Amino acid sequence: MHAAAVSFDLHVPESRSLKAKRAAVKPIVEGLRRRFHVSAAETDRHDQWQRAEIAVAVVAGSHRHLEEVLDSVERFVANAPDVELLDATTAYLEVDT
């Protein structure tokens, strides 16, 4: 088993309210779940109008497939409209077999 979690720090420059921020972030989270079959959620910065953090968890049968999914997920977030990707941090789960 190969698993990783990635956290995306996002800037939502056009947001002037929490409602506007949710309107920009929600399609990203739902798109990640639907398109890549990963666990995704907005995990931090809930009270800031122009910042958001999205976390994604991925489990795969091989390290290669894990990296492919992580790369695709990052491209999806980076190309999302209405947000700027400021940082992405990945943590890998080490499993002893």
Which DSSP string do the residues of 21-61 spell out, in sequence order?
HHHHHHHHHHHHHHHH--EEEEEE-TT-SSEEEEEEEEEES
Domain spans, the chain: 2-93
Alpha carbon of residue 78 to chain centroid: 9
- 29-53: string of b/e by CB count within 10 Å (b at 16+)? beebeeebebebebeebeeeebbbb
pLDDT of residue 96: 60
pLDDT of residue 1: 84
pLDDT by position in tens, the chain (length 97): 899 999 999 999 988 899 999 999 999 999 999 999 999 999 988 888 899 999 999 999 899 999 999 999 999 999 999 999 999 999 998 776 5
Q: Full-prediction pTM beyond 0.75?
A: yes
CATH architecture of 2-93: 2-Layer Sandwich (3.30)
pLDDT of residue 46: 80
